[in-house]
Amino acid sequence: MKLFTVGPVEMYEHTLRERGKQLPYFRTEQFSTVMMEIEERLKRIMKTSSKSKCAIITGSGSAAMESVVSNSLDKNDNVLIINGGSFGRRFVELCEIYSIPFDELIVPFDEQLSEKHFESHKEINYTAMLVNLHETSTGQLYNIELLSKFCKQHGMKLIVDAISTFLSDEYDMDGNGIDCTIVSSQKALALAPGLSMIVMNQTFYKEKVEGKPPINLYLNIQSHVENLKRGQTPNTPAVGICYELLDMLRKIEKNGVETKVQNTAIMANHFRLLVSHTSIKIPEFTLSNTLTPLYFENGGARKIYDYLKNNYDIYVTPSGGDLSDKLLRIGHMGNVQIEYYDELIKYLKEAL
């Protein structure tokens, strides 16, 4: 089996070895040391201050999204949501569930997010922006400088779901004025699914989270932040994934964050060059190194997905909704090699 999916992805041998170990009891000083080192390394890699706050939640990225929305926003806010696909719509659904006032900035599939999309929102008083920096359902990578500039000009908090761009593309939390970042374990970290991390700068935490009455139990950010001060979580954590995470963060820092991003870019660029010699279309909007969206204007994407899976045990990422028969997404994260893409393009041509 080969995975060209966008999570879970092909895991590294050192992660698989880590997964094979007996899990220890976690209410110990030893495990507390592990969690505090994770926090320290994560903030360094994300390029944010050591004073930033961190919450490590046992749950998928959606759990962290819900935790942030419900704990930092309320009926007194007015939020602008960048909605360019299914994950942008998830932020919309969360704001609806928690009765948070919002407007949507809708980005159609075939459009590149640009300044013109913000024209009708310039005169509105917003308190925060919610954005999936890389809209995984379409493949578009938004311009963080554009988003950051708009938020600074209008005094807005910038809340970023970086789940599928972190460690695939350059990410500078403080440098780009990002107040809150959400990431998870199964993307470029190439770990098992089930762990998500929230990192908030000190000002965001004090102004938007700290001191608020709890609105939920399991997803309560304040409780996670307070417990992490002693290296613990308020509930039983995904202990095994925590050890996988520490192992991976150590290796990333040892080899260099830039090296990891560059290696992902090499895979993405190689595959896109191969695609350019076929009849398959790649959308013209800005792409992340994370994945390449393949657009089949006349349909057939689902049949190609099934063909690769049933004949070669190759898994790419299908799409849902209106794009279900027109879009396949090819992942470039995890333990993949150049020759894997040479093989994939051969079978894609065969399927066509």
In the chain, which residue ranges form alpha helices assigned H by DSSP? Answer: 13-19, 29-46, 61-72, 86-97, 144-153, 202-204, 221-228, 239-255, 257-275, 301-312, 338-351
Give, to the nearest 10 degrees, the angle between helix 29-46 and helix 221-228.
110
Q: What is the mean pLDDT of residues 175-190?
A: 98
The mean of the pLDDT values for the chain is: 97
Q: What is the mean pLDDT of residues 234-256?
A: 98
Quick check: 131 and 159 in contact, CB under 8 A?
yes
pLDDT tens-digit map of 15-47 = 999 999 999 999 999 999 999 999 999 999 999
**Residue 310 buriedness (CB in 10 A; 0-12 / 13-18 / 19+):** exposed
Predicted TM-score of the model (pTM): 0.97
Q: Look at the alpha carbons of 224, 230, 231, 237 in this order and tell me if their dihedral is positive or negative.
A: negative
pLDDT tens-digit map of 105-123 = 999 999 999 999 999 999 9
Compute the residue count for the chain: 352
pLDDT tens-digit map of 62-84 = 999 999 999 999 999 999 999 99
pLDDT tens-digit map of 187-212 = 999 999 999 999 999 999 999 999 99
Cα distances (angstroms) measured from residue 66 to each of 91, 220, 254: 8, 10, 33
Reported confidence tier of residue 61, pLDDT bands at 50, 70, 90: very high
pLDDT of residue 238: 98
Percentage of residues in the chain with pLDDT exceeding 90?
99
Q: Which domains does the chain have, with CATH numbers?
A: 13-255 (3.40.640.10), 256-351 (3.90.1150.10)
d(CA 111, CA 315): 28
Q: What is the mean pLDDT of residues 257-275?
A: 98
pLDDT of residue 202: 98
pLDDT tens-digit map of 312-333 = 999 999 999 999 999 999 999 9
